A and B are shown apart, each in its own frame.
Chain A
């Protein structure tokens, strides 16, 4: 890690990365596995998915609906988790870095503008 990042920032960043890994990876793999299982059921268990459950609705149809509900659920669960856990941590890291940048250089206006330091050197075109 570059010298720009102090230990305290590095610790927060590792924490943020670890928390994301522990939450997002199982969520993603779980959802994709559920989808794969539904497709496998469609392909290899035709007798099962043809069973009627209520009225004209069979197992296949309910499985399809379950995928819609699953997607909505993942959307809500993830965005609430990210707003609660990730956003404050990310804001803290940004504040820490901004504070350090202000200490280092007496011109807060330029330094507060994120991106100046890391902006791709090859980019000449500036935003209006």
Chain B
């Protein structure tokens, strides 16, 4: 807890107002989320700009908002590395996944594979993989919630985690994708507003001379010039490249991001929303690094580290200084930024929960368990129950794993998405010979390699890990991407080449390509306006 009592009361008040606003949004949205398509993909009527903003909302997790500024404030230039990775990843999203996904899918990534491959098998494997990836990502957010709320709002960690879990279930079960989208929009606008205001105030302190700000940050960091160059945090070069690879390919494979492309009317809108994401997310990522350097210059690494070792409090502390320190202005800004951080996490977990519930209900229940013999009402009911279950599991896991490192969990989720989902998606779209065995092996090998390597790596076992402190980690990599991504692609290729050709898959490939490239036969937006 780093604020005074008055500041804390203010933070809690702002936070309650924010939760009330998001619940009001959910209530309004709940009357518009009709039918399965309304529940899962908001009737496919979201505009490019709205969807762009909502994707920014999904992408700006706690790790991005508090993590990047904190990492820059403590490690200087190496923190910028995450920003670059998150940003360049959007090129893969735009060029590889956005349009074909919109044209081919119904609610989930698995739909794309099921279009040409042996449906029940490939659906089961891919849906389980997606749920696992989402759970890791969700776990990272929930652990982050505990850390951040106890730090910023003075709420007990356990209570905070339970509260976020319950709110998430409320958003998703009552409002479906419509409510989730509006909560994302609300949060994205708050986040952009807060970032811009802080940046203007910060640069004002330095006469709008950014170079001067960087000099001050370097001087105060105690590292001098080295603070502005790479190398302070990432000393293992292969690990750095591995992290970069995972980040840059992972975004395109994250199930809840992919799902957002089904919420727009057509492929052109999907493309335009991806370009919106680049503009908005890119600018915010850039400003976030600037705030990090600002925190190093104005708050100083000692005060930041004293509040939280990982630096998660850098942005709120900077806000306090910019508002005038211990004055009322300082407390107001601190309260606002803390509340925005909380809103950020809430929106992200809602997006994740609806992604997982679509995988469980649409893929596992409707298509694998019941072989498609399910009506729409039932599919939505199961999805709601699934999102309650996902919420409960996330609460329990987060309470059990409070000590895990948030950045590590997020990095791992990205690496899993890049290794398990991306190879299958690319092969399905572009390789005629690709078959079911290839898809199953790519998903299984990609996922297991990513998790396996992370488990035997230095983030989990050994001196700096969470268990078995006495023994050496089996690998020096904390980020598995550099091995697991090629492993996923290779397994997909080998699995296909070592098994018999699949006539149906090759036959349907032309249909798939026609639909992916032209949108002929794609799912349409619901035309009725409520």
Contacts and interface: CB of A to CB of B under 8 A. Distances in A.
Contacts of A27: 95
In this complex, which of A71, A117, A120 has the most chain B Cβ atoms within 10 angstroms of its Cβ? A71
Q: How large is the interface on A (under 10, 10 to 19, 20 to 34, 35 or more residues)?
A: 35 or more
A8 B234 CA distance: 55
A2 B372 contact: no
B271 A79 contact: yes
B366 A125 contact: yes
A61 B228 contact: yes
B502 interface: no
B275 interface: yes
Contact of B230 (A46, A54, A126): A46
A39 B268 contact: no
A123 interface: yes
A128 B87 CA distance: 37
Nearest to B235: A43
Given A90-B517, A93-B520, A128-B376, A120 B225 contact: no
B518 A16 contact: yes
Nearest to A38: B84
Contacts of B231: 42, 46
Given A49-B230, A56-B228, A124-B375, A114 B521 contact: yes
Contacts of A76: 275
Nearest to B215: A56
Given A13-B513, A43-B230, A125-B366, A35 B248 contact: yes
A125 B282 contact: no
Contacts of B228: 56, 58, 60-61
Nearest to B83: A64
Interface stretch (B236-244, B326-334, B415-423, B483-491): B236-244
Contacts of A127: 35-37, 376, 523-524, 526
A84 interface: no
Nearest to A66: B84
B279 A128 contact: no
B88 interface: yes
Nearest to A64: B80
Nearest to A124: B372
Nearest to A126: B376
Given A60-B230, A94-B518, A28 B95 contact: yes
Contact of A68 (B111, B282, B511): B282
A106 B301 CA distance: 74
A32 interface: yes
B35 A39 contact: no
A35 B379 CA distance: 42
Given A114-B520, A123-B372, A125-B374, A83 B268 contact: yes
Given A5-B514, A90-B517, A71 B230 contact: no
Contact of A128 (B38, B225, B511): B38
Interface string A4-23: 01000100010011001000
B119 interface: yes
B91 interface: yes
Contacts of A75: 90-91, 94, 274-275, 278-279
A16 B267 CA distance: 15
Contacts of B81: 39, 42
Nearest to B211: A55
B518 A93 contact: yes
A64 to B, nearest CB: 5
Nearest to A67: B84
A39 B513 CA distance: 35
B302 interface: no
A1 B514 CA distance: 10
B77 interface: yes
A16 B210 CA distance: 46
A24 interface: yes
Given A13-B517, A60-B77, A32 B248 contact: yes
B521 A118 contact: yes
A39 B231 CA distance: 11
B286 interface: yes
Contact of A43 (B92, B241, B520): B241
A122 B278 contact: no
B229 interface: yes
Nearest to B213: A56
Interface in B308-335: none
Contacts of B90: 71, 75
B522 A56 contact: no
Contact of B367 (A38, A71, A91, A122): A122
B371 interface: yes
B480 interface: no
A55 B483 CA distance: 40
26 contacts: A28-B92, A32-B88, A32-B248, A42-B230, A42-B240, A43-B240, A46-B229, A50-B225, A55-B211, A56-B210, A58-B225, A60-B229, A67-B87, A72-B278, A83-B268, A90-B519, A94-B520, A114-B524, A118-B515, A122-B367, A122-B371, A122-B372, A123-B106, A124-B373, A125-B375, A127-B37
Interface of B: 34-38, 77, 80-81, 83-84, 87-88, 90-92, 94-96, 99, 106, 111, 114-115, 119, 210-215, 218, 225-226, 228-231, 234, 237, 240-241, 244, 248, 268, 271-272, 274-275, 278-279, 282, 285-286, 366-367, 371-376, 379, 507, 510-511, 513-515, 517-524, 526, 528
Given A68-B285, A76-B275, 9 more contacts: A5-B514, A36-B241, A50-B225, A56-B215, A60-B229, A71-B90, A94-B518, A124-B372, A127-B376
Closest 5 CB pairs between A and B? A55-B211, A122-B372, A128-B35, A56-B214, A43-B237
